[in-house]
Every structure is written in structure tokens, then in C-alpha cells.
Structure 1
Amino acid sequence: MKDSPEISEICSENVLRIQVETCSSLYEKWKDEKSWFHNVPRKGISTEVEYIDTRPDAGNTLPVVLCLHGAPGSHQDFSLLRSRLISYPIRIICPNFPTYSLTKTKKFGHYAEEKAEYILDFLKALELTRVDMLIGHSSSIYPSVIILDSEYGSTLKSLVFLNPCGHRRIQAMKYPILDKTSAYFYQYKFFRFFIKHLGKPVLVITKCPVKLENMDNLFLSVTTVNHSHYKRLSEKLEKLKANKEIAKMLIFAENDKLIQKEIFYEMAKMLGIESDNIEVYDHNGLQQKSSMDSGYPKGIALQDGGHYAFLSHSKIVNNAIAEMVENVLLLANEHESR
């Protein structure tokens, strides 16, 4: 891992938990619209959310930075980022999305709408009235763009996407029929037993780029992308492009094994990030190309680093986000407090 000295700076943080009632109105809507969704509990679900909150006593007095991980993932993915930003007068909140265990016990389908509703109900449970910065990794881009259409969208000042999943099929999902069929049957205990024992050889033969150590995590990833409605993302990004009130930054690695680099560059253009405003860093983390404009929207292309480039090149990425906090969040908060 590059920039390893930064690891020693990880701050000590308490993991918090809160019980959240979620998806009730969404399931009511789906029950009426989708006849195949007959097994969904009409009253929604109750679940415990595990999260990190750097300043839980701050209420709504400080700018709120919301960090959303991919699938699989956890609040631990943002430990280095929190360490870099902890000195700023901001409140950083990093919740865990549900794991596949919630699918087994309560039929949570990991649809983009479900995950967005889950986060919105979590924010309301914390009595938050603002989200000033949203940082999303990988598949969290799908619930993120839905959250932007909520009441929190009006308080958002900056947005960061880290190696986001795409607006078209990513290379990790190159066998759509196999992906959808296996993910569907994996929901059921009887079929899950056979898939766990017989599925690995098939995945090896098909050269699955995802690690196979944990089949629940693998199918969490597959299910999340299958239920993302990724074809709707282009329209959402174009809408974001037109919103000049939100500062936008896209950070990605060109050698991501899950998502082809062409998708990242296409998404950058949809967000209004021209090629002249994309910084490029080589394999050693040395800048090869600077951006013409010092402001936003802005892109950062890392020639390596993989799907977790924000960890393997943590210093570059975290400094860029810290600069955004200083130039956007803190300045805006200063103006609002006058």
C-alpha cells in the first residue's frame, strides 16, 4: 500500500449503533406497483445501523460530511480519510450499509432505492437537517444520486465520487444472464447451499475479478449492481452537471479491474469535467498533468491503485478532499455564520 506512513495516523474512534425503522413508505409503494414484490413486509423493516460519527454532540452546528462505502465495504474504508480531516471543524459520519445477512433475515434486496431510503431514515434518526459534503465509493453512487433528490440535496455543497460504478455495464458483470440468475437463486437458502459449494469452480472458469473468499460478499456486490438501475445514471449525472451550486470531484484509477477506465472518463464528461481539468498521477504517485482550472468540477486520474485507489494513493486523494473541505465547506460555513 502506497503512502503507508499515513496509516499510523489513524485516530481512535468509537463505533456507534442506532436502531432505524426504514423502507416502510417505499415498500408500500412497491407493494402497489409490483405484484412480484408480494413478500415485502408492509411495515418496512427495523435494523441496527453501525456507524462512525466524529462529533456526535455537534448536532447541526457544523458542516456534515457523509461517507458511503461500496458493496461490500464498511466505515473502516474511510479511516485514513477521517484521520486527515479530523482537525477541521466538521462532523464526519460514516454509516455501514446492510450486509447480505439482512437479505437472509428480512428480504432486504439492496436496490438503490432501498439503500437511499435506509440512509435517509438513518440521517433522520440522528436528527440531522443538513449534509454538506457527500463522498461515495463504488456502487454507493446509485443511492447517492437518489439522496441528492431528497431534502438533503438543498444543503449539499460538494460531492466526491471515488471509483464509482458506471452508467453502463461494468466489466466485472460481463455475464449478465449468469449474474442475474445466480443472484436471484442465491436469495433462497436451499439454492444458496449448492451455489456456495458448486459456484466457485464456475467463477474461476469465467475469470471472476472479485475475490471469492466470501460468497455472501460476492453476491452482495452482484445483487447491488443488478438492482442499481445503472442505465438511469446518465440522466442523473447530466442533471448534476447543470447544478452549479454543487462542487464536484471524480477520483479514479485507470487500472480498476472491476470498472473499465472508459466509463470513468465518460462519467467525468457527464459531470462537466473536461479533460483539461483532470489531474493525472503516475504509478509512483507523481503528478504528470495538472488541471487548467483550480476550481471545480475537477477530476483526478491515477494510473494505478485499483478499485480502492483512495486507500492505495491515500495521500493524494485525502489531500484533494481536504482542499475541497477548506475551499468549499468551510468558506460557505463562514459566510453563513456572518
Structure 2
Amino acid sequence: MLLRNPTSSVVVRLLLSGNKCFNRVQNHLLVRGLVSSLDNEQYYTLPVSFQTRTPGERMTVDVGIWDVRPFNMTPHTPLVVAVHGEPGSSRDFEVIGRKLAGHNIRVVGLNFPGNGKSRLLRQDIYRLDYSTEGKYHMLTTILDALAITRSLRPFVAIKMLAAILRNSYLHSAVYKCLPFIYKISGFMLDEEAFASLPIAVESVRYADFNKMQAYAETAACKKHPFIMAITRNDKIGEWHFAMEMAHHMGIEEGEITEYRGDSVTIGDSVGKYDNSCYRRVLLFERGGHLVHKAHETEIIKQILLLLKVVCNHDS
């Protein structure tokens, strides 16, 4: 997996399926609004039923799915699932996804409810659980619907902002200020992303940071390969926290590659671990919150390297 700091945006996760990363994404009958940008690229919506905050109650959302495939795709083609942060959408990965497809890799990007093409009514935002565990269950629910197997800290101001947005009388006025708030935090937002800004606030407000260490230690025990990309000047999530998470996941000093200006310092234990334990942390001096956009070439190179090591994938 390629992970972003769990306290901020999830940039992209590699969900490698079955033997040789066997791709089990199947054609789904319940799709709506199929749009083809290229012969090998499609954007469609898939109705997915999510558990709400009310026990026993479910709500169906037409989830936007973006799928770009290599022209010579086979059942053994590696699959990358791109998972956006908040605010965000699968559009964040269009460039990197198309380039990965050029390396014979399939990329599936999804939109969480309320983001991108996954439209929600305002009142429905607050019926869904945007906590860390809630987002995890949303992700697994979407992956199940696609038949894909295996898969900032909450400051008082953020909590207050979330509470104001829940107020029907104050929501509209505060909503107009959200684009400016995100802009000064380093986000260049398309107008289409504005509607998902309240969801971004909800996600930060309900993130279970006290459980993060346990999550990381559980991931370390499973010994899944992953790459984590971090920038020192991220205005949303502190890089020290991300590094702490990396150490809880079993990362050692020799598994960290640090980028400072034109110099690159690579850990001295590259290749020390077997394929099943391949792990790297990429620490960039600059790049802001959306590290995959600021360092696109290096991120693509690392994804290809990870796939080559894990899947014996040559391209």
C-alpha cells in the first residue's frame, strides 16, 4: 500500500488482489451515467448501500467510479485503487492514473459519498459516519460492490466549525467561507470540490486519533508492503506525527528516503527485507498536503518499484 498520513489525506492506496495481484474487478450491472473519456477510460456511478449512524438503517448513494485500464490488460494486470482525501475526488489522480496505465497497470479511483460525482443532499451528510472507522467501512463497502478483494489533528476550531455547519441557520453563511479557509491551508480547489468541503470538516472532526497507534501496530503485524509519502511543509498534518505512525508500523531508519532540494538520502538497508516486508517512507522537504501532485514523477517511480517487487511486474 502507498499510504498518506492517516491524520490527513489518503493519497493513494495500492490494494493488491490475489495471486500476482489478480484483478477481480468485475462488470457490475447496476451502473448509471457511463461516460468514456478515452477508449480505455470510463467514469460511471454505482449505487452502493451504506450503513448510517442509526443502527440498522442504510442509505443508497450513487458512487462515482473512475476506471482507466491498460490496452493490453489481462486477468493478472496489477490493480491500483486511488483513494482521495478531504476535500477531493478521483480527479486528483487523473494524470498519475493515466501514466500508470501506460505502464500496464489498471487504476480505479472512487469518490466517497458527497465528493466528486457521489452526490449527497446536505441533510444526508450528517446521516453518514465520517470518522476513521466510518470511512474505513465506506471504503470496504465500495470495494465489495466493485468485487475488489483484499484490500491534522482535530483542533477546537475544527470542532466548532463542524458544529456550526450542522446548524441549519448558520450553514449557508459559513459554507461560503470554507473555500477561503482551505485556500490558506494550501489547497487549490476546483469549484466542483466546494460541495464536499463540509464533509472534509466532518472527517477531521470525527477522526479517531487516539486509535491511530493501535491501527499502525496492527498493520505492522500483518507485514503488508507499503510506501508512505510525507512532506515537511504540510499545513494540514504535521510530518512528525506521520513519522511517528511510520515507526509504529515497523519502519526503521534505513527504510527512509529523504529529499532535500536536489539531494536524496537513501536508507542503507534497501533490499534488506524480503518481498513480503517491502516498506519505504519518502520524506520530501516541500510539496504541501497533496504530495503526489508536487512529486508526481517520484511517486509514480515508487509505485512501479513496489509493484515490481511485490508482483514481479515488469514494464
The Cα of 1:124 is off from its aligned counterpart by 2.1
The 1:197–1:50 alpha-carbon spacing in structure 2 relative to 1, beyond 3 Å, is closer
CA distance in structure 1 between the aligned counterparts of 2:230 and 2:83, rounded to whole angstroms: 16
CA distance in structure 2 between the aligned counterparts of 1:258 and 1:191, rounded to whole angstroms: 25
- TM-score, L = length of structure 2: 0.71
- What does residue 3 of structure 2 align with? none
The Cα of 1:272 is off from its aligned counterpart by 1.5
- What does residue 189 of structure 1 align with? 168
- What does residue 289 of structure 1 align with? 265
Q: Please tell me whether the aligned partners of residues 178 and 197 of structure 2 are also in contact (alpha carbons under 8 angstroms).
A: no
Matched, 1:209 2:237: no
Matched, 1:70 2:85: yes
> 268-277 or 114-123: which moved more?
114-123
Q: Secondary structure at the match of 2:120?
A: helix
- What does residue 66 of structure 2 align with? 52
Q: Which amino acid aligns with 1:324?
A: L
CA distance in structure 2 between the aligned counterparts of 1:225 and 1:238, rounded to whole angstroms: 22
- What does residue 300 of structure 1 align with? 282
Equivalences, count: 262
The 1:208–1:312 alpha-carbon spacing in structure 2 relative to 1, beyond 3 Å, is closer
- What does residue 96 of structure 2 align with? 81
CA distance in structure 2 between the aligned counterparts of 1:302 and 1:112, rounded to whole angstroms: 25
Matched, 1:311 2:302: no
The 1:87–1:251 alpha-carbon spacing in structure 2 relative to 1, beyond 3 Å, is same
The Cα of 1:227 is off from its aligned counterpart by 1.1
Equivalent positions of 1:148-159 (< 5 A) are 152=150, 156=151
Aligned CA-pair RMSD:
3.3
Q: Secondary structure at the match of 1:76?
A: helix
- TM-score, L = length of structure 1: 0.67
Q: Please tell me whether the aligned partners of residues 103 and 187 of structure 1 are also in contact (alpha carbons under 8 angstroms).
A: no
- What does residue 231 of structure 2 align with? 253
The 1:276–1:325 alpha-carbon spacing in structure 2 relative to 1, beyond 3 Å, is same
Q: Please tell me whether the aligned partners of residues 211 and 218 of structure 1 are also in contact (alpha carbons under 8 angstroms).
A: no
Q: Which amino acid aligns with 2:122?
A: K
The 1:89–1:197 alpha-carbon spacing in structure 2 relative to 1, beyond 3 Å, is closer
The Cα of 1:234 is off from its aligned counterpart by 0.7
The Cα of 1:225 is off from its aligned counterpart by 1.3
The structure in which a higher percent of residues are helix is 1
Q: Which amino acid aligns with 1:269?
A: H
Q: Which amino acid aligns with 1:329?
A: C
Q: Please tell me whether the aligned partners of residues 69 and 96 of structure 1 are also in contact (alpha carbons under 8 angstroms).
A: yes
Q: Please tell me whether the aligned partners of residues 63 and 329 of structure 1 are also in contact (alpha carbons under 8 angstroms).
A: yes
The answer for unaligned runs of 5 or more in structure 2 is 1-36, 272-277
The answer for unaligned runs of 5 or more in structure 1 is 1-9, 29-41, 131-151, 157-168, 334-338
Q: Please tell me whether the aligned partners of residues 72 and 99 of structure 1 are also in contact (alpha carbons under 8 angstroms).
A: no
Q: Secondary structure at the match of 1:85?
A: helix
- What does residue 23 of structure 1 align with? 51
The Cα of 1:61 is off from its aligned counterpart by 5.0
Q: Percent identity?
A: 21
Q: Secondary structure at the match of 2:297?
A: helix
Equivalent positions of 1:315-334 (< 5 A) are 315-330=297-312
Q: Please tell me whether the aligned partners of residues 80 and 105 of structure 2 are also in contact (alpha carbons under 8 angstroms).
A: yes
